[in-house]
Each structure stands twice: as structure tokens, then as C-alpha cells.
Chain A
């Protein structure tokens, strides 16, 4: 019953069913994510974005369905080195410095320690490397959390609203990095509820109240809905329009 996986796909979700407190958060949804692209998961807060991402990473208890990631069932030990997940709240130790955090996670991941400084620089925290994370600003903290995800050189990056609270310059820089990672052949899944960020994605998945409303390239979605902005497209699709 398990169909051989399409090597083009980083993620294939079939009939994913997630319930929480008797409520169906995700009612048997199907989603695919292609390799080597930046895919945006777009939807209002409470729409199930985080739950879908957690299911892909394999940390979500699911009631049914199949989630296949890089050719394996989500959450299998073989994937723990190949998939990196950045939660919305920065998951780093507040009482350690940026460098200490990265050093610890690099050792846990068995990543080369030379990569620590390069990652700190890449994420623009070189000036804060010796600073205790708790004293960083919110944006800097979430970048420290993102840096940890980059350490292990993962093939799939799952990033939950990584650009919240960042100034426009940094936000642009991060998006440039996401595309650079995709250029290296990595798959990047980014959730956002900000419409103007949607335009920066190669592919979009529109989710609302746990249901996948539409998916495809931003341009295709505009053409389908005969609208000029993704916001208008989202509205048209959410209303069950064209």
C-alpha cells in the first residue's frame, strides 16, 4: 500500500490526521513539498501551520495518515541528522552565550566544530558571540536558534515563523539565506502569516482552519484567482472562490 517515493519530493503527506483535545486540528490532509525549493506555509495563526510542521519533523503525535520525509517515515532515527527544526520560541539556553549554545549543539550533532564560527558569522551574530542569550533582543535570540539548526548541515530545514520581529534589512537578509540554502540543494519550509513574505517563496501552501486551501507557485496562484496580490488570492481561495 506504500507507494515508492518520488525522489523529487522532500516531503509527502497522505491523509494526515491530528487531534488535540477531541478537536481535529488537521483533518486528513495531503501535502507535498518539492526538494531544493523554498516553500512557504501560509496561513493565519491557529490554522495548523505549527502542527503540520511538527508532524513533518516527527515530534507530533498523530491520529492517522502517513508522513514521508526524504524517503523515510517522519521522526525515524535516520532523519534526526538530516532534518532541522526551529520552533517559534527560540529553543536555546538563555543562560549560555551564543557560542556556548552552538558548541553544545555541535557536539550533540557531531558536527565539525569549525562550523561554529562560520555559522555565527552567517547568521550575523559575530558581534554577539560572547553574549549570554538571555540578554539578546528577541530577533537576535531567534537567529541564535536558527544558527543551531544550520550546524548539522541538514537537508530539510523546517522553520516556524523565523522572521517575526526582525527589521526589514535582516528579514531580507534571512530570505536571501533561505534561497542560498535552496541553491545548495537543501529544502526549506518556512511558515509565515505575513503576506508580503509569501511573494519571496518558490512555492506556497495555503492553510486555513487545518485545511489546505491551495498550493503552487505564487504566480500560478495569482493566475488561478485572477488577482494582483497574494492577499486577494488568499481571500478568493479561502472563500472557496474560483
Chain B
């Protein structure tokens, strides 16, 4: 493990993103725009929107980082840069932490912009502190990154990688209680949702937004952190020095 290689990788990933202006514009414009859309769609059901408005701020980075990481890692694999790096004196954790650092920074900026628009312009309400929503958003971005990194190993083309989003993200969003509270779902679905990381990510956000800070919140945060570590370990296992 070396701080030099980690920082170099973070800098390289950041430089790649910086050069892709359109992606950056999408990263910062789409979440606030979607939130505005959500708000007006739920115009006649303000109570529902109050429940999900603030948590959504922290959910967008998760989805985005999942997509960006899966494509970025797939590119590293298909263009041979990953194989090249694996033949160099660089530890796998240097690559993972490098990516994590760069994406966490982007997620922090994204969540801040989104939060500013949501709580400032759109008048979305949070009883809890805004900084806690942003902090959870960054944590969720790392969860998205770790999941994307792991799952990208199972995609052999970008067509497949983008379809992991409807395959793995949308079911979790549905089951997390975002659209229908978990307590009102059929038992079996509620039971399934107990095993999905998004459930805990959403619950933590919902608790913070409702200023309902209790020990259950720390359990939610702990589960998300555990999932990040687990996905990173599994992702590291997919970075092979030797391949067929």
C-alpha cells in the first residue's frame, strides 16, 4: 500500500472526469433537476414528498457512482490499463482507495449542490441537519462505487454494465421504502428488504431528515459501512494479476 500510488490514482481519475465536461454537467445538473420534477409530480401529495424529498438528496450519489464506477472499471479492464497496472508495483487497495477518494470528492460536491437547491430553492424540508444528509450522501456514493466496482467484473460490455442499473439498483430502490413504506409492503418483500443495503441507506437518510437520531440510526450507518467494506473486498478479489 502506498499513499503515492493512491493519490496518483485519485488525481488521474479526477483528471479524466475533468476532461469530460458533459459528464460533469450531468452529474451536477441532473439530481437537482430530478428533485424539482419529483416535487411537482407530488404536488398533490405533499405528505409523501415530505417523507422522501430529503432522503432523495442522499440517494442520487449512490446511483450515479454505481454507474460511473461500473463503466470506468469496465474500461480499465477492456482497454488493458488494468492489466498494465496489475503488472506494476501497485497494490489493489491503492487503486480502490484512489477511485474512492476521487469519487467521494465528486459525490460531496454533487450532494452539496443538490442539497443547496433542494433545501434552498425548492423549499424541501429537513428537520435534521443538512450536513448530516450530505455526509450520508457521500457514504452512499462510496456504497454505489463499491457495488459498481464489484459488479463490473461480471460485465463484458458497456451494454451489459448499464443494464446492471435496472437489474440491481431499481429493485433495491423499490424495496428500500422509498416509494411505499416497508411496513406497508407484503411480508415477504419486507423480509427480503432486510437483506439489501439500500434499505439501510434509505432508513438512515429518512431518520436524519426527520431528526430522529437514535441508536437505530447508527445501526443503519454501520450496515452501510459494512456493505461498503464487503463490496470493496469482493471487488478487490475480481482484480486479478493473472488471467486466462
The chain A residues found within 8 Å of chain B, CB to CB, are 20, 57-61, 75, 77, 80-81, 83, 85, 87, 89-96, 100, 104-105, 107-110, 132, 148, 152
B191: interface (CB < 8 Å): no
The 8 Å CB contact of B84, one of A91, A94, A96, A132, is A91
Q: Annotate B44-87 by CB proximity to A: 1 below 8 A, 0 otherwise.
A: 00000000000000000000000000000000000111011111
Please, which residue of chain A has its CB at the minimum distance from the CB of B86? A59
B243 within 8 A of A: yes
Contact at A91–B80, with CB atoms within 8 Å? yes
Residues of B within 8 A of A (CB): 2, 4-5, 7-9, 11-12, 15-16, 19-20, 79-81, 83-90, 241-244
| A-B CB contact pairs (8 Å), 29 listed | A58-B87, A59-B86, A59-B87, A59-B241, A61-B243, A77-B89, A80-B89, A85-B87, A87-B84, A89-B80, A91-B81, A92-B81, A93-B79, A93-B81, A95-B19, A95-B20, A96-B12, A96-B19, A100-B15, A104-B9, A104-B11, A107-B5, A107-B7, A108-B8, A108-B9, A108-B88, A108-B90, A109-B88, A148-B84
CB distance from B121 to the nearest CB of A (A): 33
The winner among B5, B15, B20 for most chain A CB atoms within 10 A is B15
B88 CB contacts on chain A under 8 angstroms: 80-81, 105, 108-109, 152
* Chain A contact residues, majority secondary structure: loop
B98 vs chain A, min Cβ distance (A): 10
Inter-chain contact B85/A108, CB cutoff 8 Å:
yes
Q: List A contacts of B7 (CB < 8 A).
A: 107
B-side contacts of A107, CB under 8 Å: 4-5, 7-8
- In the complex, the answer to whether A110 meets B4 with C-beta atoms within 8 Å is yes
Q: Which residues of B contact A108 (CB under 8 A)?
A: 5, 8-9, 85, 88-90
A87 contacts B241, C-beta separation under 8 Å: no
**CB-CB < 8 A to A92: which residues of B?**
81
Task: Please tell me which one of the listed residues A75, A81, A87, A148 contacts residue B89 in the complex, with CB atoms under 8 A apart.
Answer: A81
Residues in chain B near residue A60, CB distance under 8 A: 242-244
What is the CA–CA distance of A121 and B207 in the complex, to the nearest angstrom?
58
- Chain B residue contacts of A20, Cβ below 8 A: 244
Contact B19 A87 (CB under 8 A): no
Residue in A93, A132, A148 with the greatest tally of chain B CB atoms within 10 Å: A93
